[in-house]
Chain A
Amino acid sequence: MSEFFSNTLSLPQWALLLAVPPAILILYFLKLKRQPLEVPSTFLWSRTIEDLHVNSIWQKLRQSLLLFLQLLLVALVVLACLRPGWQSSKLTGSRFIFLLDTSASMGATDVAPSRLGHAKRRAAELIDQMKYGEEATIMTFSDEARTSRSFTDNRRMLQALVREIEVTTHTTDISDALRVAAGQANTAQSGDPNNPQDQRVAEARPTTVYIFSDGGIGAVEDVTLGRLEVRYVAIGQSTPDNVAVTAFSVDRNPERADELQAFGRVENFGFEAREVSVSLYLDGQLQDAQKLNLEPQAGSGVQFQLRDVEQGQLKLLVDIQDDLEIDNQAFAAIDAPRPSRVLMVTRGNDSWRRALSTDVARRLADVVFVEPSYLESKAYLDESDLGQYDLIIYDQCQPPRMPQANTMFLGDLPPAGGWSREESTAPPSILDWERTHPLMQLLELGNVRIVEASAVKPPVGGLALMDSTAGTLIGLAERQAFQDVVIGFAFVGRDPAGDPIPNTDWPRFFSFPIFVQNVLQYLGNSGTATSAPSVRPGSPVRLRATGAVGTLKIVSPSGSESTLKREGQTGFTYTMTDELGVYSVYETNDRQPTSHFVVNLFHARESNLVPAEQLAIGSTEIKRETGTALARREMWKWILAAALVVLIFEWYVYNRRVYF
């Protein structure tokens, strides 16, 4: 049944109803039972009737007037039972918020012209129904909420605002929008139940919010609706067809240094098995392609090998026509490998010096060894403030202030940042370590022995990477864009004579050089140097300059340029990540980009286009408005009224035999 009609009768009822017109016809064609009456002569009657039969076609039509009226009546009743109507809604209330989802999934084309277009149309229909004195506002949300303007009763303006709404590439987060909406309904109340200052200073006004969304929202916590009535208008078909790239990354083959591996994951969110071809492009040139058979609601990995590629921009494209196009592609970028710059401040630490001098370590980083006295020099301060180093390792010493770099402290604490430590009296035994963390991967530390150590306590938000009987021995904390690692024991102790003696036997195990390599890769950023970082649309990107520059130039995938200025000591933050694709970062006056970053959707909830049946907002579950209940403007009443008029006319004709 089309959108225009809505069935109301069961099949037997329809059969009964549709049997009426043939019955009328049959009855009509049956000869009318006339009362016989003998008259002196039909002479005059025949003449009279002959006069009436002069215009026989018209006479027949006239005779059939009752039949026509009866058939018309039945047709009207049938039409009324079909409940013709169109998508619309009856607005209740006097204040409305039309909240439209502009997340990436709203660009799906399973409903014409697109989900957002459909949502805009339905919102426009509701706006059309606003009566005098009713006011509304338009809000949009993706991963952030946007209020177009304050409440107005100007429908023309509201329609114009709706028309201007455009789909974004962002993910979905409705909680901000709902808080703003709840604040509108509950005047002077922020809607945040945890806010002790939250108090009402004005009379709350009941407000109805119509959420036009396809659902991919998840549970929304910490929102008090108060007098906000929520109506959820689900947009989209229940069986959409979508294949999406949900992951794509490029890395060097650990076994072959000259080879790159591209991993992708393609998922079929539709309800039919699909065979798709996945193509890999390097700088626009097709490199390789694979065919994948995707079962419904399942995914499959894809892997490509690339040789002799130093740098470039990669694109993984699924060649398929489906409802959502933007997730059919994913991007990655390979930056030219750049050894990280590492400064080690130590009075002499043979085990680290040896570990940092291996072939692998030298390929990963250029390490400079200095004495602690160097920390006092102006050269060091300039270098550290401008972020010349990727990693600075302080071996039993402290810098005057924290540098613009990742740091690692051996047997000492950072001078700032909220670290503390607790001296241990007995040699600690290692109990456990965070095996999944990149720093601690592939390590076996069970047999490592330590003579003297102090338990470190990372600041709030920090992470314990190694636990022992004395407490945390390795801790990690973030400091703005950087990370600080503190190891609670020194590798080199001093005997009473002041000569160096080993404080731990860790350097004697295989796990030590691996740890050092992990440190260089993770903290020295050398591991990720080949693959540009990937962020989600709308997320900010922290950028670092390799040189001492004050500005960076960013070129977006579409070619638009923007210039970033250094924000104090923290580097650069780029926020205009709305486009999917590869962004190039240029340092001042450079012709070649110094680095790249990519923006990919990679969001299963956006790619899964099945509209949610209900929204969970706090403890309230908002069911989707069914199409008929919310959004049908029906005409069956008018049709029945017309049928009644026809019935009255038919009765009049029958009784009066008004033959024109």
Chain B
Amino acid sequence: MSSSAAAPALLSPQLLAQLEHLELVTRKVFRGRMKGERRSKRKGQSVEFADFRNYVPGDDLRFVDWNLYARLDKLFIKLFLEEEDLHFYALIDGSPSMEFGDPTKLHFARQLAAALGFIGLCRADRVKIEFLGQSRTNAGPVLRGRKSLYRMLEYLESPPPTTTTNLAAGTKEFCLRNSGRGILVLITDLMDKSGYESALRFLLAQQMDVYLIHVLCPEELNPELRGDLKLIDCEDRDVAEVTASRPLLDRYQKTLAAFIEGAREYCTRRGMSYLLANTQTPVEQLVANYLRQRGLVR
């Protein structure tokens, strides 16, 4: 476990430059709260013409197409495409289990959240990054605009909440507080003994465009254990006694593969995007390649 102080900066200048050209994409249409840079399917006020419709009493006379009225002697209202903002939520699992790996899974999650958040900020989206289990009073800030980058980074570099909460409870708490629709990226290792399914169901119920980024460190993906060990769970101090052997490790790999496959299938079936991320994969590569392939960024 490496301390966050020794961790490299979340976003390097090269990464920032790379991210500036990207934007967040959602497969769903959400109503933004504020005017943004994103063309909406809703009709609204923008420079982009969309359609005409008959005038009905009460319409704003400013949108009447007077040229048409002159030609056709009928009142038509010009409709424009609405440009609005996108709600982007990044939910980081800050449980102690995320403190493992080099770099730690938590650092990796922070980097990832920062990169995605920066993309959102650049596109004037509404960006909100939170740690799971964050108390209501200490909720993450709502960020807009490039100028908020440093606030975002400041928040991300703050220590995660110390109160351990399970995935479902944290997700539920988040959903209760954030009713807005949008993109939600859940960055977690899914290591919750009570299961991840209920947590994902809460997110589904919000009808958000959910991306699940499953972060695992090499110690979890390819554990190199030797001898007779007493494995201690860092969260609940649960103990598992194992005698490392090739068959045992093979069996672990099978269990891990089944676990990952289970999560992937669960997400796919429910319209969520699942992405397995190894902390050894650089964030740049992850964002530029994998997330682009998944359609989260463009």
Instruction: Give every chain B residue within 8 A of A38 (Cβ-Cβ).
Output: 231-232, 234
Residues 23-37 of A, flagged 1 when their CB comes within 8 A of B and 0 if not, give 000000000111111
When chains A and B are docked, how far (Å) is the Cα of A657 from the Cα of B191?
A: 29
When chains A and B are docked, how far (Å) is the Cα of A42 from the Cα of B229?
A: 12
Dominant SS at the A interface?
A: mixed
CB <8 Å contact, A42 and B230: no
Instruction: Give every chain A residue within 8 A of B256 (Cβ-Cβ).
Output: 44
When chains A and B are docked, how far (Å) is the Cα of A167 from the Cα of B293?
A: 106
> Is A40 interfacial (CB 8 A cutoff)?
yes
CB <8 Å contact, A44 and B220: yes
Whether A51 contacts B231 in the complex (CB less than 8 A), given A46-B238, A659-B247, comes out as no
Question: How many A-B pairs with Cβ below 8 Å?
Answer: 92
> Is A52 interfacial (CB 8 A cutoff)?
yes
CB <8 Å contact, A41 and B259: no
> Is B82 interfacial (CB 8 A cutoff)?
no
Interface residues on B, range: 35 or more
When chains A and B are docked, how far (Å) is the Cα of A51 from the Cα of B254?
A: 11
Residues 251-264 of B, flagged 1 when their CB comes within 8 A of A and 0 if not, give 11001100100000
Residues 591-608 of A, flagged 1 when their CB comes within 8 A of B and 0 if not, give 000000000000000000
Within the complex, which residue of B233, B241, B246, B247 is in contact with A39, where a contact is CB–CB below 8 Å? B233
Whether A43 contacts B193 in the complex (CB less than 8 A), given A34-B241, A657-B245, comes out as yes
Residues 41-59 of A, flagged 1 when their CB comes within 8 A of B and 0 if not, give 1111111110110000000
> Is B5 interfacial (CB 8 A cutoff)?
no
Smallest CB–CB gap between A236 and chain B, Å? 61
> Is B209 interfacial (CB 8 A cutoff)?
no
CB <8 Å contact, B225 and A51: no
When chains A and B are docked, how far (Å) is the Cα of A39 from the Cα of B241?
A: 12
CB <8 Å contact, B245 and A659: yes
Smallest CB–CB gap between A460 and chain B, Å? 100
Most buried by B among A32, A35, A48: A48
Instruction: Give every chain A residue within 8 A of B217 (Cβ-Cβ).
Output: 40
Within the complex, which residue of A34, A40, A48 is in contact with B251, where a contact is CB–CB below 8 Å? A48
Smallest CB–CB gap between B294 and chain A, Å? 25
Smallest CB–CB gap between A583 and chain B, Å? 89
CB <8 Å contact, A42 and B233: yes
CB <8 Å contact, B231 and A39: yes
Most buried by B among A32, A41, A43, A44: A41
CB <8 Å contact, B229 and A34: yes
CB <8 Å contact, A44 and B219: no
Instruction: Give every chain A residue within 8 A of B251 (Cβ-Cβ).
Output: 48, 51-52
Most buried by A among B230, B245, B256: B230
When chains A and B are docked, how far (Å) is the Cα of A35 from the Cα of B240?
A: 11
Within the complex, which residue of A32, A42, A52 is in contact with B231, where a contact is CB–CB below 8 Å? A42
Smallest CB–CB gap between B251 and chain A, Å? 5
Instruction: Give every chain B residue within 8 A of A43 (Cβ-Cβ).
Output: 191-193, 233
Within the complex, which residue of B223, B230, B233 is in contact with A34, where a contact is CB–CB below 8 Å? B230
Whether A35 contacts B259 in the complex (CB less than 8 A), given A40-B189, A42-B240, comes out as no
CB <8 Å contact, B229 and A44: no
When chains A and B are docked, how far (Å) is the Cα of A35 from the Cα of B227?
A: 8
Instruction: Give every chain A residue within 8 A of B255 (Cβ-Cβ).
Output: 44, 47-48, 51
Q: Which residue of B lies closest to A41 (CB)?
A: B191
CB <8 Å contact, A45 and B240: yes
When chains A and B are docked, how far (Å) is the Cα of A659 from the Cα of B97?
A: 31
When chains A and B are docked, how far (Å) is the Cα of A371 from the Cα of B81?
A: 188
When chains A and B are docked, how far (Å) is the Cα of A41 from the Cα of B235?
A: 7
Q: Which residue of B lies closest to A32 (CB)?
A: B228
Instruction: Give every chain A residue within 8 A of B219 (Cβ-Cβ).
Output: 39-40
Instruction: Give every chain A residue within 8 A of B189 (Cβ-Cβ).
Output: 40-41
When chains A and B are docked, how far (Å) is the Cα of A514 from the Cα of B171?
A: 145
Instruction: Give every chain A residue within 8 A of B192 (Cβ-Cβ).
Output: 43
Q: Which residue of A lies closest to B226 (CB)?
A: A35
Whether A41 contacts B97 in the complex (CB less than 8 A), given A34-B241, A52-B248, comes out as yes
Residues 631-660 of A, flagged 1 when their CB comes within 8 A of B and 0 if not, give 000000000000000000000000011010
Instruction: Give every chain B residue within 8 A of A34 (Cβ-Cβ).
Output: 228-230, 241
Smallest CB–CB gap between A207 and chain B, Å? 64
When chains A and B are docked, how far (Å) is the Cα of A32 from the Cα of B191?
A: 28
- Taking beta carbons and an 8 Å cutoff, which residues of A are in contact with B? 32-49, 51-52, 656-657, 659
- Taking beta carbons and an 8 Å cutoff, which residues of B are in contact with A? 96-100, 105, 189, 191-193, 217, 219-220, 223, 225, 227-235, 238-248, 251-252, 255-256, 259
**Can you list 7 contacts pairing A with B, beta carbon distance less than 8 Å?**
A34-B230, A37-B230, A38-B234, A39-B233, A40-B99, A48-B252, A657-B243
**Extra contacts besides A40-B99, A42-B231 (10): CB < 8 Å:** A32-B241, A34-B229, A36-B230, A39-B100, A40-B105, A40-B189, A40-B219, A40-B234, A44-B259, A659-B245
Q: What are the 3 A-B residue pairs with the smallest beta carbon separation, nearest first?
A: A41-B191, A657-B245, A40-B97
